Amino acid sequence: MRWQVLRTVADAVPARPEGFVRVAVDGPDGSGKTMLADELAEVLRADGRGVVRVSADDFHRVRSVRHARGRDSAEGMWLDSYDYARLRHDVLDPLGPDGDGTYSSRAHDLVSDEVLEPEWQQADRGSVLIVDGLFLHRDELRDFWDLSIWLDVPFGVTCARMAVRDGTDPDPDHPSVARYVGAQRIYLDQVDPAARAGIVVDNSDLERPRIVTRGQPDV
């Protein structure tokens, strides 16, 4: 059951009463990252813990940079999508071991393509930062996480979900999703995020996800 998985993940989040804890929820487009991250935040808040929710999608680079290698380039998505310097400066460092808790949750507006000035907020000591997004186990970010989750979902399932959400073709080999699927294949080949994650969740069935260890059921 989904609540059992959320409970298990919540229980695995470390406690740091005088500092901050950083949690990553990573997975392909359509794997259910935002849903799981939001639900995990609800469970932790019900436990009395402070939570800061941030999405990597609010730290995109501007379109001219993201699409410089071509609008449909998988390599361009893999290499050029995100402003990791701003994500570290605005979120990960201030909510890290030596941070003061003063963070900003958005650096870019995807619709207007506007780069945003930081709007600083103050997190309470002991808060848990939960970041959902693509590529969160890549080399630039892997050492920031106190706990990381990888959602393991086949492309056939994620593309079917994206078709409902975005109107793209459900076929993983269709040109309309080549940028997204191709970038994820580069990521899987170069990084192997499941091997770096603290918890791997088979989220193919949203009602009945499973925690797995390198493909073997755990709970």
Quote the number of domains for the chain.
1
How far is the first Cα of the chain from the last one, in angstroms, to the nearest whole number? 10
Question: What's residue 217's pLDDT?
Answer: 43
Contact 75, 69 (CB under 8 A): yes
Question: What's residue 138's pLDDT?
Answer: 97
The length of the chain, given as a count of residues = 219
Partners of 201 in beta bridges: 151, 211
Residue 111 belongs to some domain of the structure: yes
Question: What's residue 1's pLDDT?
Answer: 82
Question: What's residue 202's pLDDT?
Answer: 97
Residue 158 belongs to some domain of the structure: yes
Residue 8 belongs to some domain of the structure: no
| Number of Cβ within a 10 Å radius of residue 190 | 11
Residue 188 belongs to some domain of the structure: yes
Residue 2 belongs to some domain of the structure: no
Question: What's residue 215's pLDDT?
Answer: 43
Partners of 1 in beta bridges: none
Question: What's residue 90's pLDDT?
Answer: 98
Q: Name the residue range of residue 98's domain.
A: 19-214
Question: What's residue 167's pLDDT?
Answer: 87
Residue 86 belongs to some domain of the structure: yes
Residue 11 belongs to some domain of the structure: no
User: Mind listing the pLDDT tens digit of every residue in the chain (219 residues)?
Assistant: 899 999 999 999 999 999 999 999 999 999 999 999 999 999 999 999 999 999 999 999 999 999 999 999 999 999 999 999 999 999 999 999 989 999 999 999 999 999 999 999 999 999 999 999 999 999 999 999 999 999 999 999 999 999 999 888 899 999 989 999 999 999 999 999 999 999 999 999 999 999 997 444 444
Residue 113 belongs to some domain of the structure: yes
Contact 201, 149 (CB under 8 A): yes
Task: Look up the CATH number of the domain holding residue 33.
Answer: 3.40.50.300
159 CB-side CA count, 13 A? 19
